[in-house]
Chains A and B, each alone.
Chain A
């Protein structure tokens, strides 16, 4: 499969001397749904800023569908749709005009631009708001407007920088299914998010960036295999006063009816339940303490932090 994005030795040092990117290499295949994760200040937004030409790189190369950022910036931009983290449209313009105007910037004739604006505003549930000034929209609507705007020139690569930040669960799930449909139609998607459940559900491949370096770049499945310990929370039928002794399973009581247990992957949970049953402890329900990817993400970032500290 050909490459949608190829980054080599990308560095960025800001005017104040802060080195945001320290030579990252990253590849995203055409048709992929790729998660770019990292803690705040890791370099995600800088990377996206460079791709969208809003940030000037210090060195390195960026290639989108074979178009080099330095040699063919306009061809690269035509392949790219960007949904930024912050709202960046004119607050006084009408929703419909914002989308049609953006199409015009890409050289799309007015009639076609209006047809596409109608198509995407309908798909994103904003058609009824087409004549409203954008400042009158709710936060979730504004995010959807930015997605419609980014799609109007039919990009082959769509980059979304935390598109569901501050969006309620129902809307977030409808945006997930919309993005999944787009990906199934062949659009390559790169997503940054703080909701790791979102990344795990949507993305096939993942890159983790921390302190300006890529610390992991693999498939979601391979990454999750690295998770050696999972933490489960058990809701108990009857109260306990002291923690039960569970061989091989470190446990602690969160309250009299809630037990937190760490389960090493090779041990599994069947043995845990056997030991609990032997001690006449009945369990109502069981859930992960955190999302699996979140647990792994935290451990990777902590490992990297320790390396950086050394």
Chain B
């Protein structure tokens, strides 16, 4: 192993371990709420209301909404983990521990993003297990399922990072999740197929990136989708690349961190 690679890998591992330790330490704030929320969704929308709705795209309503709800948990938690952890580090100035160390911008960013992905996946695992109490779940295409969930977690971790860099106070880290992410997620086909919408709203929905992620993930689980899977995955790969480059530029410039 080269003399530079090993210290960098240790630094990366350190950041990831610290991030995981953080969200495990505060599990009542990080892992428990999505579990409770999703159980309520399963009971109310899936069981009580869903039984009156009937089938959607050939599946029971419960089966139809489970992939979307898993994706919703991943999006919210990956974003929330990075935005709160990185902003918390800025707020307490403990980010300086990293900035004075010989850690490259890439390692810092990858460390935080992996932390966000791992929390997203941990919550996805919890929600998936809970969903098994309400419905049988089989995976239609494992590769697409894993790729889509990993890309979605990466994209929203990067998004959370950008939010944290620009944020100046705690209000700034709740504005995007409340006023952007939540509406886009609810309107992103989690609870319905866009084929139920009139033509104009269908076309407008196609501009919602979360719709593509939810449907790509639903395709991986159920094998049905409102959108083209190839396009969705290409879009997610492109979004990951663009956001990554932007985050690195923010880190190198030291915006909000260095004077």
Size category, A interface: 20 to 34
Measured CB to CB, the nearest residue on chain B to A100 is B14
Asked if A116 lies at the interface with its beta carbon under 8 angstroms from chain B, I say: no
A105 touches B98 (CB 8 A): yes
**What separation, in Å, do the CA atoms of A288 and B66 have in the docked complex?**
80
Measured CB to CB, the closest approach of chain B to A96, in angstroms, equals: 12
**What separation, in Å, do the CA atoms of A88 and B94 have in the docked complex?**
5
**What separation, in Å, do the CA atoms of A309 and B93 have in the docked complex?**
37
A104 touches B11 (CB 8 A): yes
Which of B2-10, B166-174, B226-234 makes up part of the contact surface? B2-10
**What separation, in Å, do the CA atoms of A91 and B97 have in the docked complex?**
13
A88 touches B10 (CB 8 A): no
Name, among A14, A49, A105, the residue most crowded by chain B CB atoms within 10 Å (CB to CB): A105
Closest 3 CB pairs of A and B: A107-B7, A104-B14, A105-B101
Known: A101-B14, A104-B13. A54 touches B96 (CB 8 A): yes
A-side residues, CB < 8 A to B, are: 14, 49, 52-56, 73-75, 77-78, 80, 82, 84, 86-92, 97, 101-102, 104-110, 149
Interface residues of B in 49-105 (CB under 8 A from A): 88-89, 92-94, 96-104
B-side residues, CB < 8 A to A, are: 6-8, 10-11, 13-15, 17-18, 21, 25, 88-89, 92-94, 96-104, 254, 257-259
A86 touches B101 (CB 8 A): no
Known: A53-B100, A149-B97. A109 touches B10 (CB 8 A): yes
Measured CB to CB, the nearest residue on chain A to B100 is A52
A106 touches B259 (CB 8 A): no
B100 touches A56 (CB 8 A): no
**What separation, in Å, do the CA atoms of A101 and B14 have in the docked complex?**
6
**What separation, in Å, do the CA atoms of A80 and B102 have in the docked complex?**
10
**What separation, in Å, do the CA atoms of A91 and B91 have in the docked complex?**
11
Measured CB to CB, the closest approach of chain B to A197, in angstroms, equals: 29
A49 touches B10 (CB 8 A): no
Q: Which of A73, A80, A107 contacts B8 (CB 8 A)?
A: A107
B94 touches A106 (CB 8 A): no
B10 touches A84 (CB 8 A): no
Show 25 residue pairs from A and B whose CB-CB distance is below 8 angstroms, ordered by the A residue: A52-B99, A54-B257, A54-B258, A54-B259, A55-B258, A56-B254, A73-B102, A74-B104, A77-B100, A77-B102, A86-B93, A89-B97, A90-B94, A97-B21, A101-B14, A101-B97, A102-B97, A104-B10, A104-B11, A104-B13, A104-B15, A105-B14, A105-B97, A106-B102, A108-B10
B18 touches A101 (CB 8 A): yes
Known: A90-B89, A90-B92, A105-B14. A54 touches B6 (CB 8 A): no
Known: A104-B13, A109-B10. A54 touches B100 (CB 8 A): yes
Measured CB to CB, the nearest residue on chain B to A104 is B14
B101 touches A106 (CB 8 A): yes
Measured CB to CB, the nearest residue on chain A to B10 is A107
Known: A56-B258, A90-B89. A106 touches B97 (CB 8 A): no
A102 touches B101 (CB 8 A): yes
Known: A88-B93, A89-B94. A78 touches B102 (CB 8 A): yes
Measured CB to CB, the nearest residue on chain A to B98 is A105
Name, among B13, B102, B103, B257, the residue most crowded by chain A CB atoms within 10 Å (CB to CB): B102
Measured CB to CB, the closest approach of chain B to A9, in angstroms, equals: 20
* Residues of the A chain whose Cβ atoms lie less than 8 Å from the Cβ of B258: 53-56
Measured CB to CB, the closest approach of chain B to A83, in angstroms, equals: 11
**What separation, in Å, do the CA atoms of A82 and B8 have in the docked complex?**
21
Q: Which of B14, B101, B257, B259 contacts A77 (CB 8 A)?
A: B101
